[in-house]
Amino acid sequence: MSEKLGANSTISRYRITCKIGSGGMGEVYLAHDMRLNRRVALKVLPAEVVNNRNRLQRFEQEAQAASALNHPNIITIHEIAVEGDTHFIATEFIEGETLRRRLQTSRVSLDETLNITIQIAAALDAAHRSGIVHRDIKPENIMVREDGLVKVLDFGLAKSTENKPADVDTEAATRAQVTTQAGMILGTAAYMSPEQARGKTVDARSDIWSSGVVLYEMLTGHLPFLGETVSDTIAAILKSEPPVLDEHIPGELQRIVRKTLQKHADERYQTVKDLQIDLKNLKNDLEFALALERTARTSTNAQTKTGVEATRNTAHRVSSFEYASGEIKKHKVGLAVGLAILLLSGIGFRYWFNSGRHSPIESIAVMPFVNENGNADTDYLSDGMTELLISSLSQIPQLNVKASSTVFRYKGKNLDPRQVGTELRVQAVLTGRVVQHGDQLTLGLELVDATTENVIWTEQYNRKQADLVLLQSDIARDVAKKLKAKLSGVDESRVTRRYTDNAEAYEFYLKGRFFGGGKITEEELKKSIHYYQQAIEKDPNYALAYVGMARSYLTLGHVWGFLPPRETFPNGKAALMKALEIDETLGDAHTALADYYFSYEWNWLEAEQEFKRALALNPNDASAHGGYGGYFQAMERFDEAIAERKRCRELDPLSPTATANVGYPYYFAHQYDEAIGYYRKALDLDPAYSWSYLWIGQAQLGKGMYNEAISDINKAISLSEGNVRMKATLGYAYAAAGNRAEAQKIIRELKEQSKQKYVSPYFVAVIYSGLGDKDQAFAWLEQAYQERHPYLTLLKVEPVFDNLRSDPRFAELLRKVGLPL
C-alpha cells in the first residue's frame, strides 16, 4: 500500500502531500483534508501486516487510547477509519520538531527544559486520570511546536489500567519492544522503568520514570542508563545509579530528577501531578530569584552582614539558573541585594531563606516527647503522642518519617539536632516537651533544621486533658504546614483525622499502645489488649483501637511462641475486620491483615494484595515493607525480599531488628557471610540484641562452624532469658554437630516445659530434623501444621529442613501449606 501513497494519491477524503515519517507501527504522511480544508497527519498501517492480529490490535489500541483524551498537550485524533485494506488514523498536523531533533541540533536551556517537562506532565496527568498509561514516553514521541507548545504523541503502547495488556509483535533489535505475555517487556529500552524492563505490571509511575529519563537527557545531553546492547541497557536500569548531575544544576531540580528515577515505584512520585507541581514551584522560585537579582543591580545602598549572606545565596541560585540556560554572564552582584529584598518583602532575607524556606522538607525525625513531670506512670502519654504524630505525618506522600522504633532509641538522651540529622539522614528534627498540671496539659514543640541548627518553628499548646484528641489533630496539621507539605484534601484529612472524640477512649488507646509496643512479653501484650478493650467500650467505633488489639493478638500467637496460633489469630482477624468495616483506608489495618493472611491462613494471594494496599496507603510504613520482605523470601524471591527489607531499614535505621532482618533473605539463599554481616551491624546498634546472636549461630551452622554456632546461640539464650525458639535452635546445633545426647536432652526439656506453658511442636520438629529422625520430625511438623504455626511459611527455604526435602512427606506438607513444590 505504501507504494500507492505517493504525492496526490488519496485515502478517503485525504490527499497525500508527502511522506513525513515511518516506524514499526506504520508510515506517516502529510495530507490535505479535502472536506474541511486543513492539513492533517495520516498514520497508515501497511496492508501486508493488516492481517497480523497482534499488530493490528496495537494499531487500534493506540487510536482508541489517544482519541479518548482531550488535552492541549496531547495530539488530537480526527478520525479512525478503514479504506479497503488500509487502516489509518487522521490526526492534527503539528508544525514543529520532535524533542529528539531538538536535542540533536542544540542544547536545551533550563527554562525550556522546565517548560517542556511541565507540559509532558500535564499531558500524562490527563491520560492517567482517564485510566491510561502511555508506556513509551521518549523524545521521539514528544513534539515541540514553534510557539513552545508540547504535544505528546504515539499512544501505541498505551493501556487502560483496568485492562490486561494485549499480546503484540517483536520490534527491531535496537528497541526492546516485545510481547506483553507474562514475563515479557514492552517499550523502548533506554526509557523503560525497572518494573517495565522486568516485564511486570506497570502503572502511572512507570510514565513518571520515563519522564525522568527524558528530563535527565535534556539537562545533560545524554541518557542516565545506556549500554552497548539492549540487555546491557536493561541491566543498567535495574542495577546502576545514574551519573551525578552537574553541580550547576539547581539542587531542587537534582532532587526532582532523583525522585523520578527511584528504582522502586513506591519511592518515586506517586502521581505525575505531584511532579508537575514541584516543577512549577521550582520554575517560579528560579524566576523570582532572577528578578531579585536584576532588581538588586539597580540599588547602590550599603548592606548589612545579613545582606551580604543573602547576596551570596541569591547569586548562587541565579548563576545556577542562568548557567544551565546557556545565559552565563560574568558580573558582580552588588551588596544591594539584601536591601532590595528587605524593601520588597519587609523581612530579612536570611529569615526568608531559612525559616520561610520555599522547598518542602522531605525527611524528618520526631524525637520522643519529654515527660517533664518525670513520672514513669505517665510515659504512656508523651510516648503515645509521639507515636501518633509519627503515624500521622507518615501519611504525607512525599515525606520520609523515621519510624518510632528508631527515634525512641534517643529517649532520655541529650539531643544534638545536627548529630541526629546526620545519623538518621533527615533534614529536620522535631522535639517536644509535655507537662501535666492537674487536668491541664502543656506541650511545647520545636522544629529545627538539622543542617544549620536554625529553629524553623516553635509553638506552645495549652489545653485541658479532655481536649487531648483535638490537640493531637492540631499538632499534626500545624507540623505538616511548617514542613511545607503539599497536601491534597484527602491527604490532609488523613494527617489530621481524629479517630475518636472520646478523651477517655483516647487515653486507654495510648496505654494500649504503650504496653503493646514496648518489650514484647506475654504479660505486656495481654495488658495492652485489656486497655484496647476499654477504649472500645468507651467508643465502639474506634477503629485504631481494634487495630492495636488485633496486633497484640497476632503477636501472642506469632513466632515468639507465647500462645497457640489457633487461640489468638482468629481474634486478631475479627478485630481487623471490624476496624476495616469502620475505616477501609487504615494502612496499619491492611499491614496487620496481610500478616494474618501470610502467617496463619497461608493465603498468599490475599497476603500480597494486602501488603500492596498497605504500602499504597502509607509508603512510609516500615513494618509493611518488612512484612512484604518476609512474603518475598518465603516465595524464594530473594532480591525483592532484600529490597523491601532495606527499605524498612532506611525508614527505621536504628532498629536492630530492621537491620538484622536484611540478613534473613541472604540466610535463606544460603549466602551466609552476607547474612552474618547484617546480623553484626544490628549488634553495633544494640550489643545485647539476642536475636542477632541466634541468627549468627544459624548462619554459622550453615557454614559448618559448629563450635562457634553453639557459643553464639548460648549467648542468645542468656540474653533472652531462655527463649524457647532459641533453645530449640541450640538443640538443632548440637544435633548438627553430632552431639545427639545434648540434642535429645533439650527435646526432653521442651516436652517437660510444655506441661507448664505452650511450646510449639514446630520447635521440637527442628531438633528431630537435625537428628535425622524423619518420622519424628514429620510427626511434630504435622502437629505444627494443625496449629498453623507461622514458621511453616518458611518451609520452602529454611535450611534446617534440607535433609527432609527428598522425602515425599515434605512435598505433601508444602502442598498443604500452599507453597510451590
586-653 and 509-583 share a CATH fold = yes
Strand, helix or coil at 797?
coil
Could you tell me the CA-to-CA distances from 567 to 367, 547, 589 in Å, in that order?
Answer: 37, 18, 20
Half-sphere exposure (Cβ direction) of 272: Cα atoms closer than 13 Å: 28
Query: Which triple of cell numbers denotes residue 806?
Result: 527428598
* Unique residue bearing C-alpha cell 497476632: 554
According to CATH, what is the number of the domain 2-92?
A: 3.30.200.20
Domain ranges within the chain, ordered by starting residue: 2-92, 96-276, 280-354, 363-498, 509-583, 586-653
Which CATH class, in words, describes the domain spanning 363-498?
alpha beta
- H or E element at residue 550: helix 543-556
6: cell is 505517493
Residue type at 334?
G
Which pLDDT belongs to residue 96? Answer: 86
The three-state secondary structure class of 445 is strand
- DSSP state, residue 154: -
pTM of the model: 0.54
DSSP 74: B
3-state class (DSSP) for residue 619: coil
Q: Which sequence positions are flagged as catalytic?
A: 136
* 29 SS3 class: strand
Distance CA 12, CA 81 (A): 9
Write down the residue that cell numbers 491520560 correspond to: 127
Question: Per residue in 765-796, pLDDT tens?
Answer: 999 999 999 999 999 999 999 999 999 999 99
Q: Which three cell numbers stand for residue 413?
A: 538522651
Residue 409 contacts residue 420 (beta carbons within 8 Å): no
**Contact predicate 689/661, CB 8 Å:** no
CATH of domain 586-653: 1.25.40.10
Taking the CA atoms of 203, 205, 209 and 211 in sequence, report the sign of the dihedral they define.
Answer: positive
Level-2 CATH architecture, domain 96-276: Orthogonal Bundle (1.10)
SS3 153: coil
pLDDT at site 394 = 82
- Can you state the angle between helices 622-634 and 656-668, rounded to 10 degrees? 10
What residues contact residue 382 under an 8 Å CB cut-off, 6+ apart? 368, 369, 370, 371, 432, 434
DSSP code of 413? S
Which pLDDT does position 80 carry in this prediction?
79
The strand pairing partners of 462, in sequence order, are: 442
Find out whether 53 and 90 touch, Cβ atoms under 8 Å.
Answer: no
Cell of 489: 484534601
Residue 801 to residues 502, 775, 818: CA-CA distances in angstroms? Answer: 51, 13, 17
Domain formed by 509-583, architecture: Alpha Horseshoe (1.25)
Angle at 379 between CA 378 and CA 382, to 5 degrees: 105
* Residue segments in the chain with a per-residue pLDDT below the cut of 50: 1-2, 157, 161-187, 300-358
Q: HEC profile for 464-510?
A: EHHHHHHHHHHHHHHHHHHCCCCCCHHHHHHHHCCCCCCHHHHHHHH
**CB neighbour list of residue 36: distance below 8 Å, 6 or more residues apart:** none
DSSP, collapsed to helix, strand or coil, labels residue 479 as: helix
Listed in sequence order, the residues at least 6 apart from 273 whose beta carbon sits closer than 8 Å to its beta carbon are 121, 125
Distance (Å, rounded) from C-alpha 292 to C-alpha 297? 9
Return the pLDDT at 578.
95
Three-point CA angle 114, 23, 46, nearest 5°: 145
